[in-house]
Amino acid sequence: MRKLLLLCVCVWAVCAQGNIDYDEEETETSSAPDAGTGAAVDARGHRPLAKDAYTAPRYVPPPVGGGGSYRGRPTPAPVGRSETQEKVEQPEAGGCAHADDRLGVLCPTGCELKTTLLKQERSIKASIVDLKPQVEELSRSSNTLVNYVTSLSNSLRERQRLVTDNSRVVGEYTDKVEEQHAYIKETVDTVFPSNIRVLQGVLDKIRQKIQRLEKAIQTQKEDCKEPCRTKCPIPVVSGKECEDIYRRGGKDSQMYLVRPDASTRPYKVYCDQTTQNGGWLVIQNRLDGSVDFGRRWDEYRRGFGNIAFDAGKGHCETPGEYWLGNDRISQLTKMGPTEVLIEMQDWTGAKVHAQYRKFTVQSEASSYLLSVEGYSGTAGNSWLEGASQLSGVNRTMTIHHGMMFSTYDRDNDNWTPGDPSKQCSKEDGGGWWYNRCHSANPNGRYYMGGSYTRHMAKHGTDDGVVWMNWKGSWYSLKAICMKIRPFFPSK
């Protein structure tokens, strides 16, 4: 009984193993929900859930072909009939036989012809077989020769096309060279001689100018044989500045030599020794428009203009138009407390002034920064408060206190720094401590008569000699003078 039970278990295991080997798909299909029950049917069915990539083999050999080793089977003879033996043709008999097989082979003379032909056919076939490879080789050689000839023809046509193109290009270049030759010939024959004549005329004029200059130099040499006499002698008294000169006895208003520091060379200045007890050193003066104040940074740094001239009294008592120079102004104002006086005059002769108890101009390293304090006067406090006609930010942007010096070639104003199209000095005619842009413009363009308009201005701006708090933007003053002296509270 145990052996029988064990045998049944083994048979069941073998059957189960067989189902696992070949019936796995049917098992999965049977586990899917039934469509009749209304449950969702898995579209994948019994396929694996994982999408494994399929890779086809690189090479699959074709099926075996060709003829087999067996022929078709013979047809069996019909039942009840006698078998008739087929007539076999004798190869050596020439293919001729009697009508009755029992009579043997018939060999007439005509049948020998067939035998001879058959023998010749075999020999001719062998020759044909030998000639066939030669014919094929000749065919291949002919094809090669035809291809070569075709290639030569194509190459010849291509070379002929290139020759034609080259001839066309050479013709074009030849035409251009002829045009250039004609132009050069015309230039050499016509233009050059004309230019040479013009240059010859210019050379003659230059030669005449040189002759006139040589004559003028000779005249100057003749005049300088005698000692030159100074028409405007400089007074003997001098000092560090005009206040020092006043205290040393130089109490006449005229041109003097000053030397603020022992390490610097003395230079000429005009000293006003009468206004408010004297001691004023003129650093800027405008009175007739004889000097152009639209200058570069270096010129404002060194100074320019005419310090003074002789009006017929034997000494230079009349100041000219000039700017003392930013380096000198900075040095003088940094020696100690300095006050500044700005005197103005309109074209009717009316006069006003503005005075600041403290006035300092820093060095070039800070772009000659301006600082003022302590206003008094009748012209209006433009430097500290801006234009009184304006309000808010429009007024604030016209204050000059705390501004750096600007010229048209060095922009330091507050009007869009770095933008060359927005520069106060370029539009307003001179170097100054511009903001955005000004309420005072002492170094602006000089307009005769006072009033001017936007159409008269170069850039349509108020670029005249302006002090807005007295005459407004569109009135250019007749005269303005800036003077400095040391400030002493005891005065």
Distances (CA, A) of 341 to 276, 284, 403: 10, 11, 19
- Looking at residue 219, its pLDDT comes to 83
Task: Give the residue carrying structure tokens 């005619």.
Answer: 429
The answer to whether residues 403 and 435 touch, using CB atoms and an 8 Å cutoff, is yes
Both 162 and 261 in one domain: the answer is no
Average pLDDT, stretch 177-204?
A: 88
- Looking at residue 106, its pLDDT comes to 53
Both 424 and 450 in one domain: the answer is yes
Both 217 and 252 in one domain: the answer is no
Of 28-32, 247-251, 410-414, 467-471, give the lowest mean pLDDT range.
28-32
pLDDT of residue 248 exceeding 60: yes
Final residue of a domain: which of 203, 228, 253?
Answer: 228
The answer to whether residues 484 and 359 touch, using CB atoms and an 8 Å cutoff, is yes
Percent of the chain with pLDDT over 70: 75
What would the two tokens of residue 457 be?
């201005």
- Looking at residue 21, its pLDDT comes to 40
What would the two tokens of residue 38 be?
């209304």
Final residue of a domain: which of 180, 200, 228?
Answer: 228
Higher pLDDT, 57 or 179: 179
Both 268 and 222 in one domain: the answer is no
- Looking at residue 138, its pLDDT comes to 87
Both 218 and 256 in one domain: the answer is no
| pLDDT tens string 218-242 | 887 777 776 545 467 788 888 999 9
- Looking at residue 206, its pLDDT comes to 93
Domains of the chain: total: 2
* DSSP letters for 77-104: PPTTS---PPPPPPGGGTT---SSGGG-
pLDDT of residue 339 exceeding 50: yes
Of 50-64, 196-210, 244-258, give the lowest mean pLDDT range.
50-64
The total of other beta-carbon atoms located within 10 Å of residue 104's CB is: 10
Both 439 and 366 in one domain: the answer is yes
Residue 3 lies in a domain: no
Both 263 and 208 in one domain: the answer is no
| pLDDT tens string 353-370 | 999 999 999 999 999 999
Residue 281 lies in a domain: yes
Residue 326's pLDDT band, with cuts at 50, 70 and 90, is very high
pLDDT of residue 346 exceeding 50: yes
Final residue of a domain: which of 206, 228, 250?
Answer: 228
Q: What is the mean pLDDT of the chain?
A: 80
pLDDT of residue 62 exceeding 70: no
Residue 2 lies in a domain: no
Both 362 and 458 in one domain: the answer is yes
| pLDDT tens string 92-119 | 444 455 555 555 555 555 666 777 777 7
Of 53-67, 322-336, 356-370, 454-468, give the lowest mean pLDDT range.
53-67
Reply yes or no: is the peptide bond before residue 437 cis, omega within 30 of 0.
yes
- Looking at residue 216, its pLDDT comes to 87
Residue 28's pLDDT band, with cuts at 50, 70 and 90, is very low
Residue 97 lies in a domain: no
| Cα 309 to Cα 270: distance, rounded to the nearest angstrom | 10
pLDDT of residue 178 exceeding 50: yes
- Across-strand partners of 352? 344
Residue 67 lies in a domain: no
The answer to whether residues 472 and 453 touch, using CB atoms and an 8 Å cutoff, is no
Residue 103 lies in a domain: no
Both 301 and 178 in one domain: the answer is no
Average pLDDT, stretch 200-225?
A: 86
- Looking at residue 105, its pLDDT comes to 54
Both 193 and 284 in one domain: the answer is no
Q: Which residues contact 27 (CB under 8 A, 6 or more apart)?
A: 19
Q: Which of 370, 372, 328 is nearest to 354 (CA)?
A: 372
| pLDDT tens string 402-459 | 999 999 999 999 887 777 778 899 888 899 999 999 999 999 999 999 999 999 988 8
- What range does the domain containing 155 cover? 128-228
pLDDT of residue 63 exceeding 70: no
With vertex at residue 109, the alpha carbon angle to CA 104 and CA 115, rounded to the nearest 5 degrees, is: 80
